[in-house]
Structures are given as C-alpha cells and as structure tokens.
C-alpha cells in the first residue's frame, strides 16, 4: 500500500496557500478559491488543505494534524526554513535507526515534520 493523500483543515486558506507554496515551496496541484488547495509531490502523493466548515467544526479542527515530508538533506532544509523565519516546533535532531528530523508549524499550528531517513 502507498499513501495517496491526506487532508488538513485551516482557519485561513489564503494564508495556508502562501505558507506552503511560497515559503516551503510545495507544488500546487489545484486551488478551489476560498475552499481548498491540493499540493502534489514527486511521488504522486498529495496534501489537501480545506477551509474549515463551521457546520462541521466538531471534527474539522485546524492545528491538530501532522504530516511527514521526506527530504534528501534535513540540515539544508532546516537552515533554509529557519532563514525564512518559519516557526520551529522541534529543533533538528537525529534518532539512531530512523534519521534526522525537525518539525515546523504552519499558520494553524499544524505540524510539518521533515525527515531524512537513515540510509
């Protein structure tokens, strides 16, 4: 099995688009103005982010999701994002047997974890 896609919820779709596209550099696949954005990765996996629907507030809660992004060079990615002023949630560290990783927060405080898997 392979992951096809995952969906986050946001309080501000425009802020999220700017953060993921312009700051982190994710590739936009599709935008539905004011409602939804889909980012696509080289392996075909997708991250969708949907504007929170007040009628569904009991389960569409921004700020409680985490996505893991695989990178070739965690230190380089970390340095680039720190230079851009992103909010660091977990500093860069290495876990023996797994890899080097760190986490940042988006505008809704969702966690974006970057990992360079141990080879």
Backbone angles phi, psi at 53, to 5 degrees: -100, 115
pLDDT for residue 1 is more than 60: no
For residue 79, give every residue at least 6 positions away whose Cβ sits within 8 Å of its Cβ, in sequence order, or none: none
Would you state the pLDDT for residue 2?
Answer: 65
For 19, counting Cβ atoms within 10 Å of its Cβ (0-12 exposed, 13-18 middle, 19+ buried), the class is buried
Would you state the pLDDT for residue 58?
Answer: 72
3-state secondary structure of 19: helix
Q: Domains, the chain, ranges and CATH?
A: 5-53+61-117 (3.10.180.10)
pLDDT for residue 4 is more than 90: no
Mean pLDDT in residue range 46-64: 84
State the DSSP string of 32-47.
ETTTEEEEE-TTS-EE
What's this model's pTM, rounded to 2 decimal places? Answer: 0.86
pLDDT band at 5 (very low <50, low <70, confident <90, very high): confident
Mean pLDDT in residue range 6-10: 91
């Amino acid at each position: 099995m392979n992951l096809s896609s995952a969906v986050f919820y946001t309080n501000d779709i425009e802020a999220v688009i700017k953060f993921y596209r312009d700051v982190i550099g994710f590739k936009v696949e599709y935008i539905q103005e004011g409602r939804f954005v889909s980012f696509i990765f080289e392996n075909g996996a997708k991250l969708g982010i949907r504007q929170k629907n007040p009628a569904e507030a009991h389960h569409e809660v921004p700020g409680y999701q985490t996505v893991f992004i695989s990178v070739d060079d965690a230190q380089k990615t970390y340095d680039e994002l720190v230079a851009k002023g992103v909010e660091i949630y977990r500093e860069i560290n290495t876990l023996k047997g797994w890899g080097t990783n760190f986490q940042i927060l988006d505008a809704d405080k969702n966690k974006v974890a970057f990992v360079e898997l141990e080879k």
